[in-house]
């Protein structure tokens, strides 16, 4: 990273740095590490339960007097309701994980920008 010693930066330079900081400050509050870890745990738990329930449905055999095709439709309906329920259970948790990922990108960009700024007293 290039360090630029600039005791009297141009107005455009200062405006650019100011705009970067203004955007960063305008972001919503960052979720806590604990909240992100809890969200990841929820996602993992829900996905494990989802897999187990889907496997259980796949192993079911049709009753004797039910057409296999009709039973297959029932299995698909059951599987899709499980997927829908999992989606609903994970929605808020996924939001926190994605928000944390976005903040990590901003952190990297701020770090990169700070390499071009030299603060002198």
Reading the chain (121 residues) residue by residue, the pLDDT tens digits are: 445 455 667 888 889 989 999 999 999 999 999 999 999 999 999 999 999 999 999 999 999 999 999 999 999 999 999 999 999 999 999 999 999 999 999 999 999 988 887 654 3
Pick the closest to residue 1 from 99, 118, 112 (CA basis).
Answer: 112
Enumerate the domain spans of the chain. 32-114
Q: Token digits for 85?
A: 């329920």
Rounded to two decimals, the pTM is 0.76
Cα gap 29→81, rounded to integer Å: 34
Spatial neighbors of 48 by CB under 8 A, at least 6 apart, are none
């Amino acid at each position: 990273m290039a360090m630029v010693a600039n005791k009297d930066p141009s107005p455009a330079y200062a405006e650019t740095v100011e705009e970067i900081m203004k955007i960063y400050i305008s972001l919503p509050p960052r979720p806590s590490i604990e909240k992100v870890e809890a969200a990841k745990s929820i996602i993992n738990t829900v996905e494990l339960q989802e897999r187990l329930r889907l496997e259980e449905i796949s192993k079911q055999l049709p009753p004797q007097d039910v057409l296999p095709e009709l039973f297959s439709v029932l299995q698909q309906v059951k599987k899709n309701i499980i997927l829908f329920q999992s989606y609903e259970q994970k929605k808020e948790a996924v939001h926190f994980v994605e928000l944390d990922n976005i903040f990590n990108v901003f952190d990297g960009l701020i770090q990169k920008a700070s390499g071009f700024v030299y603060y002198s007293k």
